[in-house]
Structure 1
């Protein structure tokens, strides 16, 4: 089935714009492919170093260049709940590789930081840049040139985008992404949010807050809300980089183990030594990118991907823009409600039909390109399934249910929760920005109020605690962009502004920083571009300036005379404290090199 005419038109627009860079990229991929099996170019000394620590059988196999060798790039650490399950995956993958007649080696590890730990802390200023560090770290592992394919073990926020950028840089290799799955459901997300608000108002203490947080984040696996980590998993599946049905199976279960072994074997099948050679550089094209954006809109996914998708696409020579994302949002209906744009968590989403139901609905309604290549073969239709465990311990698949298991969580494309997607691009005399509308009630999507200007989130929080914010206002939090301080998430403001909105005040946020995959019920114009430090008009806003944020019309305006606004000097706060502490000294070059948010906020390319 072909995609709708409007979807095809946007895809073609992206393809035409991308032609020069995409052609250059593909030529490089084909040149690398034509070089043949890569271990043959290594000297005997090179090769001896490469397999010195292998088991005798693996060493003999690699010495003869007879079998495919699988690179494992892992983001394992045992501090991140989502990544702790990866501790056992290399052994499973090696076992699966041997069963399939291949070899697997851990080619390298990459850093994996937890935004949940660093929210509101100095370390958050390294978070966005960690994506590019991860890409470079994975490239170092793969640069040994020992491998016929790669599997990537990663789940969370910047980690999957960084790994995919690396995979596409080595586009001559097949690449399979293997997730760990979400933790089981704990304290409901709306109850967690309620306790956070009570704490912000001083109505409960730290002990009660910690108890609630610990009941929410209580075991191995991703956090269960639909933030960036779980949006990553949706993207990898809908873009055909997971095996079908892999995204939301809980860790440490027989089905998760079976899916992991299956993914490793599939990676070996699609090497150049087999009959289904599928290098990721050929697989990942404009249609794949559009399918990812469609999935993001249909599920009300993370705002962070308005940055990451652009950077990931660019790694394959594809030029995706905010306008493309916005135009797709106007077409694609919202058919999933998972916290923060609903009460359910991702386990409820999976139980209601999950990715299989979602993909089938979008395919049948013409919102996805069906004629894409995936690691599973030709076409996306094989992903419209529900995974299970067979009597032999292997993975079985049956067609996705035709009826939602919970119509408050998963709707049909014909009767969606809203007719448009969950993200919107805003434009106006303050530049361009992103707003997530899926969790914002329609009556809250247009705010006009005086500006209150802050230069960090601590300043705003202090004003709240002092009782100075009981009024209608638009919080302008600036000098939070990639060049200023690495563009940290300002997630702690969600609670403060949510309290004020619940008190009946009309409030909104405008910032050149990020919020989170968990951006919530308060309208927030984020990623304002150009950022304040890069000459953006946001640097010339003053307290009391009327600001209008209209998420329906897609506008962001300071209602100030244009000549007056242009003539004002830009604010120039002391940002020297952003340059040291918690490793920030090491990222001075990254801050200087970072591109604009609407260009992916990358330090390379």
Structure 2
């Protein structure tokens, strides 16, 4: 057994040190909220009567008697999103399983769940990131009835799981388990889907060709199978000890998936009281947060998690920074190749050994904290085991000690790359994130004239007109949280892939997002300070030479500092009156209050609303 790596130890220590005041206050709040008996035992009779009025049968009598633990189910189920459609049957399964071990379960509330794949490139995408904090508040509303001794969080995708977890951490005195649905079966290969998208961008494929390819890729219930934010969320949550071991990538519609869902109900009741009592706020601590970051880095996961994990940590009183990601990335090797970092999908990753092999090799190398609380018990070694059904009974056995496909998953002793492929960039344009795990080494340094856009549509028009058929750094600004909600900009990727395939040096610099689907194009994203609050990206002009160097982590525009500072800001985003339609006007308060990307792009916490000195004042225009 190797000792914990010194960099992992040091990063964890400094996180704990800088978080001491906030974390202590958070834990004190949890202690004050905890109760010796069932939570609802302190309720007035009228309050309690409202809480069980809609229930019939034995559950009503049990709730009234104040003895049995009650699970609050919070679900993101809807039948439009493939990842959440399987959750339709979960509440009934959970209620029956809870009764079998002397508990009760109530459906506490639903949370919104939107799909970036559906809203991509459309106005609704500008609500996507804000939906995370709405989900957190919705989870808070569900649990605020104070009827529950534990909670099960049913959710999968980007924004949804982080939002549910942030909300549940406000009730961190309660045990909680996240319950996934699993990935859809493998369809059209990701490389073929990407090829058709590029052909369509060039006008060499029809819309029907494109729709056929997309429908063959996203074809059934379950999570999309590429390694985007949804699957990054799931993997990170398991390594943080928030899923049952091995639960993450079991497909929907299988006996094992149902067995794990039912076991989550039994397990959360077991940890709701007594010797195994395990509050959520004790599972999510400095060590588990670091474990989550390391899992993200080791697998080349979604850049969205550089915001979500910061926001999740903050909800537990912990201050996580982008510098922590960067320092950990320098010592955590890249161990998996899953699209867009390779040709395999998440089902291939699971078949090669999955989370169990990943945890094992990282633990053996001292790159994960072993001594952590998890929903399965104390110690991360439990997550080296995988669930199976033996004669219909759920049991756990040792996971694979060796990768079963080294083209997809490897051990620490033979990684795909020496570092995690996620790097922080800085320079006279600000700070940004870049994911290089899918970027070929020869494409990681780009120095070229800028072409500036404020919309994806403007970029598409320039591409179709042949104006970008050269070496170019595409700057897309006013895409940050305060500008328009920080939408993802995936419509840029196929045309830029075409330009790269033609032999041009190309890169993206933006204060918007690209998420886990960012691939072979070097993309400095989530740039902060964003242009809308006075960030220097708002002063870049067409033709300015920009250098993106992913090897050294530098991002700069070659303009004299005084000249750059004296340039007027241009292309301001739409004011509040113009930011309407598709429900956007309902989110205006969040847009005004949101904090910067490197602090989680959250509306919660002390950095929201006033995060930059001299930030752009819309009212002054």
Question: What TM bracket, shorter-length normalisation?
Answer: over 0.9
TM-score, scaled to structure 1: 0.99
In structure 2, the partner of 1:127 is 128
Q: Is the 8 A contact 1:474 1:510 kept in 2?
A: yes
Q: CA deviation at 1:34?
A: 4.3
Partners of 1:572 and 1:226 in 2: how far apart?
34
Q: What does 1:170-319 correspond to in 2, within 5 Å?
A: 170-272=171-273, 274-319=274-319
Question: More deviation in 370-379 or 28-37?
Answer: 28-37
Question: More deviation in 277-286 or 35-44?
Answer: 35-44
SS at match of 1:45: helix
Partners of 2:388 and 2:464 in 1: how far apart?
51
Q: What does 1:89-100 correspond to in 2, within 5 Å?
A: 89-100=90-101
Partners of 2:570 and 2:88 in 1: how far apart?
48
SS at match of 1:398: strand
In structure 2, the partner of 1:335 is 335
Q: CA offsets, 1:483-509, max 9 Å, x none?
A: 000000001111111111111110000
SS at match of 1:579: coil
SS at match of 1:476: strand
In structure 2, the partner of 1:549 is 548
In structure 2, the partner of 1:380 is 380
Q: Is the 8 A contact 1:237 1:243 kept in 2?
A: yes
In structure 1, the partner of 2:456 is 457
Q: Is the 8 A contact 1:301 1:422 kept in 2?
A: no
Q: What does 1:69-80 correspond to in 2, within 5 Å?
A: 69-80=70-81
In structure 1, the partner of 2:439 is 440
In structure 1, the partner of 2:427 is 428
Name the CA shift for 1:212/1:475 in 2 (closer, same or farther; >3 Å).
same
Partners of 2:6 and 2:428 in 1: how far apart?
33
Partners of 2:573 and 2:528 in 1: how far apart?
21
Q: What does 1:99-114 correspond to in 2, within 5 Å?
A: 99-114=100-115
In structure 2, the partner of 1:118 is 119
Name the CA shift for 1:234/1:431 in 2 (closer, same or farther; >3 Å).
same
SS at match of 1:588: helix
In structure 2, the partner of 1:474 is 473
Q: Is the 8 A contact 2:38 2:68 kept in 1?
A: no
Q: CA deviation at 1:143?
A: 0.2
1:57 lines up with 2:58 in the alignment: yes
Partners of 2:194 and 2:573 in 1: how far apart?
34
Q: Is the 8 A contact 2:532 2:572 kept in 1?
A: no
Q: CA deviation at 1:578?
A: 5.5
Q: CA offsets, 1:87-120, max 9 Å, x none?
A: 0000000011011110000000000000000000
SS at match of 2:34: helix
Partners of 2:9 and 2:71 in 1: how far apart?
36
Partners of 1:329 and 1:395 in 2: how far apart?
36
SS at match of 1:278: coil
1:18 lines up with 2:34 in the alignment: no
Q: Is the 8 A contact 2:86 2:222 kept in 1?
A: yes
Partners of 2:521 and 2:37 in 1: how far apart?
54
In structure 2, the partner of 1:151 is 152
Q: Is the 8 A contact 2:7 2:327 kept in 1?
A: no
Q: Is the 8 A contact 1:453 1:543 kept in 2?
A: yes
Partners of 1:598 and 1:205 in 2: how far apart?
40
Q: CA offsets, 1:120-179, max 9 Å, x none?
A: 000000000000000000100000000000000000000000001011111000010000
TM-score, scaled to structure 2: 0.96
Partners of 2:538 and 2:6 in 1: how far apart?
41
Name the CA shift for 1:204/1:483 in 2 (closer, same or farther; >3 Å).
same
Q: CA deviation at 1:574?
A: 5.2
Q: CA deviation at 1:559?
A: 1.2
Partners of 1:511 and 1:174 in 2: how far apart?
39
Q: Is the 8 A contact 2:38 2:69 kept in 1?
A: no
SS at match of 1:604: coil
In structure 2, the partner of 1:588 is 588
Question: More deviation in 281-290 or 52-61?
Answer: 52-61
1:45 lines up with 2:46 in the alignment: yes
Q: CA offsets, 1:43-71, max 9 Å, x none?
A: 11111111112232011111111110000
Q: CA offsets, 1:3-61, max 9 Å, x none?
A: 21110000001000000000000000011114753211211111111111223201111
Partners of 1:144 and 1:206 in 2: how far apart?
49
In structure 1, the partner of 2:611 is none
